[in-house]
Chain A
Amino acid sequence: MTDATPPSLIVEMQGIVKRFPGVLANDHVDFELRPGEIHALLGENGAGKSTLMNVLAGLYRQDAGIIKVKGSLVEFSSPRAAIQAGIGMVHQHFMLVPSQTVTENILLGLDDPRFFMRLNEYDAKIAKLGERFGLKVDPRAKIWQLSVGEQQRVELLKMLYRGANVLIMDEPTAVLAPTEIEGLFQTLRAMVAQGKSVIFISHKLQEVTAIADRVTVLRRGKVTAAGVVTKGVTRQELARLMVGREVVFSIDKKPRQPGEVILDVKDLQAENDKGFPALRGVSLHVRAGEIVGVAGVAGNGQTELSQVIAGLRKCRQGEVILNGDRVNNRDTLYGIQHGMAYVPEDRTHVGSAPNLSVTDNVIMKKYRKPPISRGSLLDMGAATNFAKELKQAYDIMVPTVNTPVRLLSGGNLQRVILAREISGQPDFMVAVQPTRGLDVGAIEGVHRLLLAQREVGAAVLLISEELEELLSLSDRVYVIYEGKIMGEVKIASTEPDQSLIETIGQMMTGTPLEQIRKEGSLAHG
């Protein structure tokens, strides 16, 4: 047997198997990377993309299979070993220490400097490296002072400083605004031009076709397309390879005349957990029969906004009016009794009680009233019947309603939460990232439920980081940036409108709508 590999491959993974308790994350996966290419790894959430790359980056050890780098067999016992072989990974959650400077983060874990830090010297080195690859960032800045895009650049610099030739980017665009995405793509192209290779993990089709030379598609831990040249494949084909069936991209949204104002938020100001201002005067309203989106890059006050509205966070100033009643800075029960429904971001800890059964979780808003309440006792028979009804109506896939919800998949758990919230026939619902981490089928289900709420005349506030989701579901979209509303746009059609996306993108990076309009009218004469 010969180990000779064509020199045209820099990384070769053969028959990789990786098991987690109860899950076969990678089932004999092959993957090849050529020098100087951008190779996309496409697949749904849970398809095994990140697992495969964590194996390559030395974070996990494969249960079977071999890895070759430049033709020779390698075994990585740690991320450090992988970096020494020239393979660096930029994780979805940045691995940066917020309280330290850019330079300190880059030097972390290296043998040089030996003992004394001599930061000035290294600051200059890192500034130089940044210039070479078009990665501008101040080496003396502390990480918490940087925008998400800048932090990503630090992660890239960290790997480049260590001499990485293969850069693995795990869903790098998930945290970026549209303009920042274009900047990232330029950087990646510059790196490839200088001889580096890039593996680009994504579940977004349009990005893959925009940036990658070749694409490998994973579905449920198996390769469904290996190293296909992206020129000449359509989005439809890729989607079918990824999901395993035809995917409908359009959503059935009927035109509807909105009714009166249900939720009115006036000049809201609130602080985050660290005591810094998170909301700096947010005003918005939602009418009956209307889905209103809130767009923005993660961490611009969306979480705090939803919490103040739901009554989980106190605000310093401003009001939340629901059906004419002030609901802010009161307990959550007051809001619930006045028609509030809340689908929180954190399904497992805020949205549900993981160790309790489906029944217990769905009666949480019902147990105070008959038929489930009988004086000071609970009628468990009535509760079980109620849960069974919901299981039927919302298509919740569980063996019995006594199953603890921690055993449910993300999609099923979200259906439990939505079933509980919607069965209360709310006038208003605030939903935060309701489809995050769900597979395509489950996403469709959630979208249908939200649109159904719009049909019956409820007001829905949808807070999401997925711009496409907002554009296809919402009637109007507010854009939030650093706790302020940058502007509001009407969504006329479900087809994506390029100039509208650009406008929203600019607002997401901090340009108010008025300014965009002013500059626009100047440019057009």
Chain B
Amino acid sequence: MDPIIILQAGVASGTVLLFAALGEVLAERSGVLNLGVEGMMLIGAMSAFSVTIATGNPWIGVLVAMFVAGLLSQVHAFIVITLQADQVVSGLALTLLGAGISLVLGEGLSKAGTVSLMPNFSIPLLSQIPILGPIFFTKQSVLVYIGYLLTPLAWYYINRTRPGLHLRAVGEYPAAADALGINVFRMRYFYVFLGGMLAGLGGATISLAVAPGWFSELTTGGQGWIAVGLVIFAQWDPFRAAVGSYAFGALRRLILDIQGPTVLFGMRNAFYYNPYLGFFLQMLPYAFTVIVLVIGSREAIRKRLGAPAALGTPYIRGERGQ
């Protein structure tokens, strides 16, 4: 029950959520809601692990995971962008598809033994900073550090560059973007792909760094859904997504640790003696996700939170003003 350790582990496991949430921020900013994050993470985690077993090189595993999850996301892209189907339904189906494929292809992987993982290291100087040093910069996976870099990059890209301007325009008012010669369809395909790649990276972060191994659908354990909820909670902002991800990561670790000691704050630890209470605690992040998703699905509230105005609606050319 050392707070530093809880936070340190929280940052590590929060990185999984961070990648997935950043990917979903990009896709939703372009106007496409992709509820298939869980499925894309699973296929990412599975392919990262199996490719690493086969090649012995975790970097190749990570890259393949990103590519495979990106490919899977294109199924959703085709259905909702080209065929203009309902994004919620297609996203749910994508989760089932991704989970199904990874369970079949991952059959037997759980007994495959140990693999080489992504390297852990500490950053000189920065790790010496009191409190922050041990939490953020000591013995973290290289993927955690990549997460630190990716967050401000994503923010800057969205808010301060020309492609970012186009991304926002496509998600807010695709007809305006189209009228100025921006290819709305190509942009949406691209950002759904990017979102898929980042979800795959999140999956790879689990199986090659945070909780190494392949434990079928328990590998992700619904973290893809938490990531989707986080995007709403973060109001589509990368920095808020990072804060939320790390907070959730820390919460997961806290819930785990709180069930350990027999005595808590000088009292009998009820969470230790009563496993049902532990289950209740473990349920909390998912309950939160359900609540956020329910609230976020109401259009009026979404508008108030600043959701991309065209989120969830297919773009059909020439629908306005004949």
Decide if B304 touches A59 in the complex (CB within 8 Å): no
Shortest Cβ distance from B304 into A: residue: A275
Residue interface bits A103-127, CB-to-B below 8 A is 1, else 0: 0110111100111110000000000
**Interchain CA distance A275-B173 in the complex, whole Å:** 21
Decide if A50 touches B322 in the complex (CB within 8 Å): yes
Decide if A109 touches B177 in the complex (CB within 8 Å): yes
Decide if B322 touches A96 in the complex (CB within 8 Å): no
Q: Does any Cβ of A come within 8 Å of B166's Cβ?
A: yes
Decide if A79 touches B304 in the complex (CB within 8 Å): no
Chain B residues in 8 Å Cβ range of A94: 176
**Interchain CA distance A97-B177 in the complex, whole Å:** 8
Decide if B180 touches A274 in the complex (CB within 8 Å): no
Q: Does any Cβ of A come within 8 Å of B130's Cβ?
A: no
Q: Does any Cβ of B come within 8 Å of A348's Cβ?
A: no
Decide if B309 touches A117 in the complex (CB within 8 Å): no
Q: Does any Cβ of A come within 8 Å of B165's Cβ?
A: yes
Decide if A274 touches B304 in the complex (CB within 8 Å): yes
Chain A residues in 8 Å Cβ range of B179: 59, 79, 91, 95
Q: Does any Cβ of A come within 8 Å of B3's Cβ?
A: no
Residue interface bits A47-66, CB-to-B below 8 A is 1, else 0: 00011001000011000000
| Residue from A50, A83, A98, A116 within 8 A of B173 (CB atoms) | A98
**Interchain CA distance A256-B190 in the complex, whole Å:** 65
Closest Cβ of chain B to A215, distance in Å, is: 22
Other contacts beyond A95-B173, A114-B162: 18, CB < 8 A = A20-B322, A54-B321, A60-B318, A78-B181, A91-B320, A95-B180, A98-B172, A98-B309, A99-B168, A99-B172, A99-B306, A100-B168, A107-B162, A107-B165, A109-B182, A116-B162, A117-B165, A273-B299
**Interchain CA distance A20-B306 in the complex, whole Å:** 37
Decide if B166 touches A93 in the complex (CB within 8 Å): no
Decide if B181 touches A109 in the complex (CB within 8 Å): yes
**Interchain CA distance A15-B251 in the complex, whole Å:** 70
**Tally of contact residues, A, Cβ under 8 A:** 37
| Residue from B162, B180, B181, B309 within 8 A of A115 (CB atoms) | B162
Chain A residues in 8 Å Cβ range of B177: 97, 108-109
**Interchain CA distance A109-B318 in the complex, whole Å:** 18
**Interchain CA distance A105-B180 in the complex, whole Å:** 10
Q: Does any Cβ of B come within 8 Å of A92's Cβ?
A: yes
Can you give 25 contacting A-B residue pairs, CB < 8 Å?
A51-B322, A59-B179, A59-B318, A79-B178, A79-B179, A80-B180, A91-B321, A93-B175, A95-B180, A96-B173, A97-B172, A97-B177, A99-B172, A99-B309, A100-B168, A100-B169, A108-B165, A108-B180, A108-B182, A109-B166, A109-B182, A110-B180, A117-B161, A117-B162, A273-B300
Closest Cβ of chain B to A389, distance in Å, is: 35
**Interchain CA distance A25-B322 in the complex, whole Å:** 10
**Interchain CA distance A102-B318 in the complex, whole Å:** 24
The 5 closest A-B pairs by CB, nearest first: A80-B181, A109-B180, A95-B176, A95-B179, A97-B173
Chain B residues in 8 Å Cβ range of A275: 300, 303-304
**Interchain CA distance A117-B169 in the complex, whole Å:** 15
| Residue from A80, A100, A170, A273 within 8 A of B172 (CB atoms) | A100
A8-50: which have CB < 8 Å to B?
Answer: 20, 25, 50
Shortest Cβ distance from A106 into B: residue: B180
Chain A residues in 8 Å Cβ range of B320: 91, 93
**Interchain CA distance A158-B177 in the complex, whole Å:** 13
Closest Cβ of chain B to A144, distance in Å, is: 10
Decide if A108 touches B176 in the complex (CB within 8 Å): yes
Residue interface bits B248-292, CB-to-A below 8 A is 1, else 0: 000000000000000000000000000000000000000000000
Closest Cβ of chain A to B175, distance in Å, is: 6
**Interchain CA distance A104-B320 in the complex, whole Å:** 23
Q: Does any Cβ of A come within 8 Å of B186's Cβ?
A: no
Closest Cβ of chain A to B133, distance in Å, is: 33
Known: A78-B181, A108-B182, A275-B300. A50 touches B321 (CB 8 A): yes
Decide if A93 touches B321 in the complex (CB within 8 Å): yes
Known: A54-B322, A97-B176. A79 touches B168 (CB 8 A): no
Closest Cβ of chain B to A115, distance in Å, is: 6
Q: Does any Cβ of A come within 8 Å of B163's Cβ?
A: yes
Residue interface bits A171-183, CB-to-B below 8 A is 1, else 0: 0000000000000
Q: Does any Cβ of A come within 8 Å of B111's Cβ?
A: no
Decide if A100 touches B162 in the complex (CB within 8 Å): no
Chain A residues in 8 Å Cβ range of B175: 93, 95
Closest Cβ of chain B to A347, distance in Å, is: 17
Chain A residues in 8 Å Cβ range of B306: 99
| Residue from A78, A108, A109, A117 within 8 A of B160 (CB atoms) | A117
| Residue from A50, A79, A92 within 8 A of B180 (CB atoms) | A79
Shortest Cβ distance from B159 into A: residue: A117
Shortest Cβ distance from B165 into A: residue: A104
Residue interface bits A469-502, CB-to-B below 8 A is 1, else 0: 0000000000000000000000000000000000
Closest Cβ of chain A to B311, distance in Å, is: 12
**Interchain CA distance A51-B176 in the complex, whole Å:** 18
Residue interface bits B174-197, CB-to-A below 8 A is 1, else 0: 011111111000000000000000
Closest Cβ of chain B to A444, distance in Å, is: 24
Chain A residues in 8 Å Cβ range of B181: 78-80, 83, 109
Closest Cβ of chain B to A121, distance in Å, is: 13
Chain A residues in 8 Å Cβ range of B178: 79
Chain B residues in 8 Å Cβ range of A273: 299-300, 303
Chain B residues in 8 Å Cβ range of A114: 162
**Interchain CA distance A25-B166 in the complex, whole Å:** 33
**Interchain CA distance A95-B181 in the complex, whole Å:** 12
Known: A95-B176, A97-B176. A108 touches B166 (CB 8 A): yes
Chain B residues in 8 Å Cβ range of A60: 318
Shortest Cβ distance from A274 into B: residue: B303
Q: Give the one of B168, B306, B309, B322 with max A CB within 10 A.
A: B322
Decide if B169 touches A92 in the complex (CB within 8 Å): no
**Interchain CA distance A78-B183 in the complex, whole Å:** 10
Decide if B321 touches A116 in the complex (CB within 8 Å): no
B135-177: which have CB < 8 Å to A?
Answer: 160-163, 165-166, 168-169, 172-173, 175-177
| Residue from A54, A96, A100, A158 within 8 A of B165 (CB atoms) | A100
**Interchain CA distance A54-B168 in the complex, whole Å:** 25
Decide if A115 touches B182 in the complex (CB within 8 Å): no
| Residue from B169, B299, B318, B322 within 8 A of A108 (CB atoms) | B169
Residue interface bits B6-44, CB-to-A below 8 A is 1, else 0: 000000000000000000000000000000000000000
| Residue from B162, B173, B304, B322 within 8 A of A113 (CB atoms) | B162
Chain A residues in 8 Å Cβ range of B168: 97, 99-100
Shortest Cβ distance from A271 into B: residue: B300
Decide if B163 touches A115 in the complex (CB within 8 Å): yes
**Interchain CA distance A100-B309 in the complex, whole Å:** 12
Shortest Cβ distance from B299 into A: residue: A273
Closest Cβ of chain B to A293, distance in Å, is: 27
Decide if A116 touches B161 in the complex (CB within 8 Å): yes
B50-65: which have CB < 8 Å to A?
Answer: none
Chain A residues in 8 Å Cβ range of B169: 97, 100, 108
Chain A residues in 8 Å Cβ range of B176: 94-97, 105, 108
**Interchain CA distance A80-B177 in the complex, whole Å:** 11
Residue interface bits B292-322, CB-to-A below 8 A is 1, else 0: 0000000110011010010000000010111
Closest Cβ of chain A to B208, distance in Å, is: 33
Chain A residues in 8 Å Cβ range of B299: 273
Closest Cβ of chain A to B267, distance in Å, is: 45
**Interchain CA distance A107-B300 in the complex, whole Å:** 30
Decide if B321 touches A92 in the complex (CB within 8 Å): yes
